[in-house]
Amino acid sequence: MEHYGGNLIFDENSLEFTFTIKGKKGVERKKVKLSKTQYLGAYNLALGTIKDNGSTDYRDITNSGDLVNLFSTVVNCVAVFLEKHPGKSVFFTGDTEQKTLVYHEILRRHYQEFSKKFYIFGIVENEYKVIIEKFDSNGRYSGFLIENKLKSI
């Protein structure tokens, strides 16, 4: 396990990051899990809350009151993962339309900053095909794909 600033811990074997967030509900333990997908080089990102019994709830609505800190930590997880796994990409979507819209809004608001390090794509699905296009703040996406611009040496 490797520690990355603050309380962020990465377990390379399980491809899991763990960290805590302090908010309205007190301190919440969080997990970011990356899993291989059926698509070559793409990994799915799942964000969950670690419960007191040790299980992880991936459908939990965080409402910690510190969305900025939560998502900056998740972006840090993505950056660490992509640095350690050059040529890979990270896919994410919300498990509800509302969560996907929140992710879109965060990407829109912070696009200038995020796009310095990452290529950001939006995924458009219809009944006939899946289209991956450069992120557009006005787009309607069912998910997002992130790739590292900076190559490891």
- Please report, for the chain, the start and end positions of each structural domain, with discontinuous segments joined by +: 2-148
The predicted structure's pLDDT at residue 77: 93
d(CA 80, CA 5): 11
Does residue 24 register a pLDDT over 90?
A: no
153 pLDDT band, cuts 50/70/90, is very low
- Between the alpha carbon of residue 80 and those of residues 35, 62, 63, 85, 90, the distances in Å are 15, 23, 25, 9, 11
Higher pLDDT, 141 or 96: 141
